[in-house]
Structures are given as structure tokens and as C-alpha cells.
Structure 1
């Protein structure tokens, strides 16, 4: 049967799938969470594969349902505001029936959580590419923060990596909009292993809360565990909110250690001021010559160590000096003077993080065309054509 209010056909066929969500036809179930399911579906109007996130609001009191739906609408609005290639796009939603759903960009790939749980040899070999991917995460967060959105739940399970190594931030379910009073001071919402101290204490949060969480994810990539993890949630929260800083281990005294220390500062005022500043510091640490080597087999905990053999399913997207891993030389050399001009053109659309994006694109590209395409992927679709023309004229 079909719910007349939001068009969800609730009767399942022999496949065990719902028949439809409005016009969207489910193909398979992708995952199940505490509050609902995610399906791979097809939009028959344009023959496009989409992900449909269905959330169950049944069994809630009237008051709880109203709060639940408000948070649901916040997720839709937050993701829709954040148009960026590193953020999963939202296409459609319905919230007037018993099964609200969001229609999103379908992203084939793997969560960062899954990558971090792979066998030790594969996980160790993936460290350089995973560290570099955090620059893309910061680029997406820069766009979100510029739109007045704080994600508030950055963690490995909310970061998708495609087979090509592209990054997609997901799940803005507890995001806080600058214009919203939802989840005010006094709420503790997030994931303890990655949340900032002020978030754990129910205090006011801002964009620096996301930067702390990003640093916590970076720490886990390099060390094999979150920075303040302990045996129980209570112990984790005590470490998180206590005065002691994160133990940087073998990274103490290195440029990467300085990046982690600032990103994980307990006082928000001591952290990076923006995602762009964080990205630039991380990029400098990655490019630093002569630093003590950041050897993945030395940094990771013994249980996570393994060989540094090739990791074919996650190609590194930029250089990572001092790891003992050799990347194929690039065939593209950015013409003299073009970097500054390209940075200026991109900065007009994305702000100060443009410098890092241009450097990263130049390191990854094997041709001028690929360099331009990589940069155009960081701007809104309606801006890409103009940027492509401008960049092409410079090269």
C-alpha cells in the first residue's frame, strides 16, 4: 500500500524491498542504522542512481517526533547549503509521512572506518593516501563553515572514500546551522572518540569543533586509535575533558606532531582558526623536506603494523615525504607564474583554501586538462564552466 502523505509504498515485494519512495525505485539495501535504512535506488525520470536514506519516526511521542523531524529537516538544509565536491549532495526529501526520507548522491566506495579496519599490511600502506585525503575533508568543511554549517559529527564512518580516492563527507544529521536554535548549549551530541571537549561538556560549539574532530581522525590514521580513547566511554570523556594533551608518541617534535597538537588543543582559541588554515599547515607538514620520517610502521600501534606493500585500491593523491613510499612521477609541470594566477582565480570562488587546492591538483595531475578538471571539481557546477575557461587560458 502507498502512504498518501509522502508516497512511500510500504508493501514489500519478493525481494524484501519497499516498492517505492515516491518516484524512486529501490534496487538494494545498502545499510541499516539505529534510526533507519539506506537504499540504492533509481530515479526513473533521469535514469540516475541515488541513495535514499529512510528514517523511522514511528513509535515516538508527539513531542519527540516534532524534535526528530526538526533535526531531519536540519540535515536536509545543512547538506543542501554545502555545495561542494567533498560533500554528498542532497537532491530531494519528503517528511510528511511516517517514513521521512532523503534522496542523496549515491557514492560508491568505502567508509574511512572500513579502511582503518583492513588487514595490517593494507592499512599501513594506505596511511599516506589517507593522510592526504584529510585535506579534501578540510576543503569540504571550509565550504560548510562558509555556509554557516557546523557538522558536529566528523568521524571515520562519516567520511567516504571512492575507488578513485575522492572524499565525500556524509551525515549532517546533527549539524548546527548558524540560523538555528536546535541542539543548543546543554546538549551533548556527537561521538565521544572524536568530539571536542566543549561539545562533550554541552557548551557552545562552532567551526573549531569540526577542526578538533578532523584532527582526531588524522591522529587515528597515524596512530591506529583516536587520541583520547579509553576502555569505557566514561574514561574517554575524562581524558577528553581533562587538562592533559594528546600523547603524540613518535610524532612529538615533528611538523606533523605540531599540526596534531594544535588541531587537538583543548582550548578552541588555541586551535586553527579555520579549515583553510588547518589544510595549509597539513600541506606544509606533508611537503616538509628533512623532517624526521613519519614511518607508518613506527607510528602505528603493534597490533596495526604490517608491511608497506602496495595498496592498489586506494591510490595516494599527493606526495607524502619521508614515508619510504615512492610515487610515480607526474608528467605535468605547472608553468611558471601560473600557480599564483590559478590560486587567485580559484580563491575568488572558494576563499583562502585555494592555495592548498592548487598545490594538490598540481601534484596529482598528469596533464593540464586534468589539473583544470581537479580544480573545477571544488566549485559549484554553475561556476565550473567559467573557471575552466579562465584556467585553460592560463596554461
Structure 2
């Protein structure tokens, strides 16, 4: 929709407006400059006069203003004038991760960017915030090349209560199965999305085919998981596959744990000096940097050396941490303290409810494809058959008793 620049300027008298540099479903982004300080900024303008959207926009401003993190886009100002909502943010002239994916990334840069995102998410999670829309478009690059996470407009703030996704929000292709199904959202939900981004950066293609209709893509995410390419280095495949598991409890417990696992894998695959070749500033916690350099004997603050529970379990049982269950090579790395979020299994949903929620995600699509209906019908038939078998077994057990 067209914007009245005069109205935007009136809402932000301290800023000079520049050219438009982006647009999205909710508005546009302008370049700007603080008149007195000379500081370049990005000005995000809301284009939808809807109370719920405006609340989400304000929530983004509040969440991001609370951060002082080197890998989170800073918020400088917010204005709400006669229905016009404007967010003044740090200027990131390096474009988005989507742009860089199109050009291709070397593995060193891919790992450094993934560690940057993981550190930002861990900082959010320790504040009780789950992003819920981690995707390449929401990763920007500052003038020095540092990766910055933005757009916390879909974030949920936890205060000790069990919070679900409420409405079906997020981005198909990166959203975790529990998010698609409207189940409990937790840090592992963001870890899944980060693993999807890491998959894309390391392989050059997204975890799910982009030519799939949305319902089919969501069905793949819920029931099948992505295929890990044969050419993907063994240690990377183990770490990424571990984080793309369907059950949240089987993924790394935190974004910090994912960072430690990926950092150790990068050191083993790329050499201990790989960060010097990444050309991506990395400002993360010291234990992650030590893991990235191949240091051994990493411990938590209590001095206890840890290995990821899921990876330990997969080595014990002889199965892999990949979504497809293929055996992978040996790999050990430390993990972090348990995250203060619920980690138990989500309540199961009926097949009818699964179908309803998939349909809700694809309301703009022309409808479910014939293939998807067949798949859903087979799933329903399988559930019915299992119910019958369970009834027979239960009846026999009762007669025997």
C-alpha cells in the first residue's frame, strides 16, 4: 500500500528519511539517519491497520529493545502516531542470509553464521523468549559482516507457564512439527529451525523441496523429516540430523548445546583454524570459541564434562541422531545445562486434528493435492487399524487375567 512520507517524517522528527530498501507482508523498510548523531538506521513501517498486528509490532519493539547482544539487531526508537507504527532499528547494509544462500556459502562461513544465530537464540531463551520464526530472511548482516537475528514479532514471552503457539505462525520449511501442530513451543522449536537453516547453508538447498505444495511440505515435516544428503560431511550430518528430530526431547536441549556440538564438528571437519577463514565476525561465549578451536576437556561451570544426551543415546543403541535413523560416525561434544523450559512430550493429536491444522497453514493454497489426500487417508487408515489391534490385544489380556 502507498505510504505518506510526510506522515512518517512527522512521527520521527529526529530522523531524515532515505530510500526504500525492503518490504514485506506487514510493511516496508526505509533507510534513515539520525539528524543530530548522524547514525544510519533502518525504519520499519507497519502497513496494516489491525489491532492484533499492531500489538505484534509493538511486542517486537519491546522484545528487541530488551536485548543488548552482538548478534541481535538493536532497536533505537519506536513511534505510534495516529495509527502509524514505526520501528527504528540498527542499519544492516549487508543484506539477508537469503541473499547469501543464493550466492552459496563456504562451510566455514556457514558454521560461523550458525554459531552467531545460536548464541542470539540462547540469549533469548535465557530471557524466556522463543523466537518462533527463525528463517534466512530474519538473519541480517551488519556493515562488518556480523550476522544479526531480527523480527521477534512472533515471539512468545514465557513466565513459568506452559505456552503453546496459540495460532499457527511461522514459516513452512523451517517450522518444527510441534509448532505446525499447535503444540507446546519451547527453545527446541527454535533449535529445529536453526538446524534447518544450517542444513541449507551447508548443502546449498533447503531441508524440504521448495516445489512441494505447502500441505505436502508440512506433512513431510511432521511425519518424515528431511533427507540428509550423502555428500554432507559425517559430523555435520550427525549434529544437524540430531537437531531435526521430530520429538523436541530428542533434539539438543538448548541452542547453546547445538552451538557446542556444531563448533566441535567444525573443528574436526575443517581444522582448528577454520574461524580465521570464515570472514564472519563471531562474538559468542568463550566455551563455544574453545570448542570451535578443537579444545578438549570442555566442561560446564560445575566442572562436569558433558556429552549430548541424544547423541550419547544414539551411540549406545547403535542408531544415529539423524532423522532417517542412518548410522553416523563417532562424535562427542559437550552440552549445556538443561534449559528452564518444559521438555516432556506434547499431547498427541487425533489424525483429524492434524489434518485440520495442516489445512489451516495452507489457507492461501488452492487446497490439498490429490497426493496429500491419499497420504492423509493412508495415515487415517493406519491409525484405525492400530486401534483395532490394540483393542484385540487388550481384550485378550483381560480374558487371560
TM-score by length of 2: 0.65
Partners of 2:95 and 2:72 lie apart in 1 by: 15
CA change 1:220–1:253 in 2 (3 A) is closer
CA contact (8 A) 1:153 1:190 kept: yes
CA contact (8 A) 1:195 1:209 kept: yes
Please state if 1:117 is matched with 2:107: no
Query: Partner of 2:72 in structure 1?
Result: 87
CA contact (8 A) 1:74 1:177 kept: no
Deviations 1:120-171 (A, max 9, x none): xxx25x3421222111111111111111111111111111134533111111
Secondary structure of 1:95's match? strand
CA change 1:88–1:208 in 2 (3 A) is same
Please state if 1:105 is matched with 2:100: no
In structure 1, which of residues 319, 323, 335 is the aligned counterpart of residue 274 of structure 2?
Answer: 319
CA contact (8 A) 2:267 2:293 kept: no
Partners of 1:327 and 1:240 lie apart in 2 by: 34
Alignment of 1:216-231 (within 5 A): 216-229=196-209, 230-231=211-212
Please state if 1:357 is matched with 2:348: no
Give the C-alpha shift of residue 96 in structure 1.
4.2
Partners of 1:180 and 1:359 lie apart in 2 by: 32
Query: Partner of 1:34 in structure 2?
Result: 25
Deviations 1:352-391 (A, max 9, x none): x43013565999xxxxxxxxxxxxxxxxxxxxxxxxxxxx
Give the C-alpha shift of residue 76 in structure 1.
1.0
Query: Partner of 2:141 in structure 1?
Result: 161
Partners of 2:183 and 2:291 lie apart in 1 by: 37
Query: Partner of 1:149 in structure 2?
Result: 129
Partners of 1:187 and 1:356 lie apart in 2 by: 35
Give the C-alpha shift of residue 223 in structure 1.
2.1
Alignment of 1:42-61 (within 5 A): 42-58=33-49
Alignment of 1:259-274 (within 5 A): 259-274=239-254
Alignment of 1:95-244 (within 5 A): 95-118=80-103, 123=104, 126-162=106-142, 164-179=144-159, 184-229=164-209, 230-242=211-223, 244=224
In structure 2, which of residues 2, 6, 13 is the aligned counterpart of residue 11 of structure 1?
Answer: 6
Partners of 1:282 and 1:67 lie apart in 2 by: 38
CA change 1:157–1:318 in 2 (3 A) is farther
Q: Structure 1: 5+ residue runs without aligned partners?
A: 1-7, 59-64, 295-316, 321-325, 329-345, 364-395
Deviations 1:20-53 (A, max 9, x none): 6332220221112122111111111322111111
Secondary structure of 1:279's match? helix
Q: Structure 2: 5+ residue runs without aligned partners?
A: 296-401
Query: Partner of 2:352 in structure 1?
Result: none
Query: Partner of 1:367 in structure 2?
Result: none
Query: Partner of 1:335 in structure 2?
Result: none
CA contact (8 A) 1:192 1:236 kept: yes
Aligned length in residues: 288
Deviations 1:217-266 (A, max 9, x none): 00011222221335211110010011x23211225781111101111011
Partners of 1:221 and 1:157 lie apart in 2 by: 13
CA contact (8 A) 1:155 1:213 kept: yes
Partners of 2:177 and 2:67 lie apart in 1 by: 25
CA RMSD of aligned residues (A): 3.2
Secondary structure of 1:173's match? coil
Partners of 1:222 and 1:362 lie apart in 2 by: 20
